[in-house]
Amino acid sequence: MREAPPAAPSLSVFFPAYNDAPSLPGLLEKTFALLPQLTSDYEVIVVNDGSRDETGEVLARLQQKYGPRLRVVTHEKNMGYGAALRSGFAAATKELVFYTDGDGQYDPAELPKLLEQMKPDVGLVNGYKIERHDPWHRILIGRVYNAFARFLFRIRIRDIDCDYRLIRRSLLDEIRLSSTSGTICVELVRKLELSPYRVVEVPVHHYPRLHGRSQFFRVRSLATTFLQLIRLYYRLVIRPAINGENPTLA
């Protein structure tokens, strides 16, 4: 196996997971095969967001297999996608932080494409889906949500809900995130775009979901997301404009 050069940046990789027991073994196998080729200083974190399936048991077995390189953060109850991301960011200790979902719809093997674009003046490398492989109604709702959020928050990247991101951890230390639903992606990208660093986009593949079902595309989740989006707009756009606040800390 090719060893990473000593100057390679340290890397935290994490996966938010909810009822992803079937997909996690293959996902982590790919990840642990890849990372030693990229850097000698890495960690892998899985945030188990109160899963009701065998995710906890599967992760316990995987920790025995991979040892201290694999850390597990457990929410005793399901706290939402935003809370899972915030726990992952808080647990990450390395120079660069990469995350994607634990359902296996993205391939961690494409991470090198993001690392190639992480120059000294870049703070976020964001993937965008070459083609979305989901049921038609999810594609339609996703397009409407993406267009609405980009317009409302003046976000420049083309694909807000592509959860395939490489972020400079120093920036994560400077911003405050509060969303508990999928609106955290809007909050995160908006605040990172306001930083002095550049944002770069990279095309990545998106694959059909083979196990379980998305928690985002349910009536209750969509209603929660919409309400949080309105609150987020007030907090990040209206209130800073009125009070002269720093929106990255709002």
Segment 129-159, tens digit of pLDDT: 999 988 888 888 889 889 989 999 999 999 9
Residue 6's pLDDT is 46
- Compute CA distances 133 → 20, 101, 143, 174, 208, whole Å: 18, 15, 13, 35, 5
For the ranges 25-29, 79-83, 210-214, 245-249, which has the lowest average pLDDT? 210-214
> Quick one: average pLDDT of 170-178?
94
CATH homologous superfamily for 11-249?
Spore Coat Polysaccharide Biosynthesis Protein SpsA; Chain A (3.90.550.10)
Residue linked to tokens 């390189």 = 69
Whole-model pTM?
0.90
Residue 109 has pLDDT above 90, yes or no: yes
Kindly report the CA angle at 162 between 197 and 115, in degrees rounded to 5? 50
Specify the 3-state DSSP secondary structure of 247. helix
Going from N- to C-terminal start, the domains of the chain cover 11-249
Residue 182's pLDDT is 87
What contacts 12, CB < 8 A, 6 or more positions away?
42, 43, 45, 91, 92, 93, 94, 96, 97, 98, 169
Specify the 3-state DSSP secondary structure of 125. strand
- Are residues 28 and 62 in contact, defined by beta-carbon separation less than 8 angstroms? yes
Amino acid making up residue 245: E
For the ranges 38-42, 70-74, 183-187, 229-233, which has the lowest average pLDDT? 229-233
Spatial distance between the Cα atoms of 120 and 126, rounded to a whole number of angstroms: 16
Helices (H) and strands (E) in the chain, counts: 9, 7
Residue 111's pLDDT is 98
- Positive or negative: CA dihedral 213, 189, 149, 91: positive
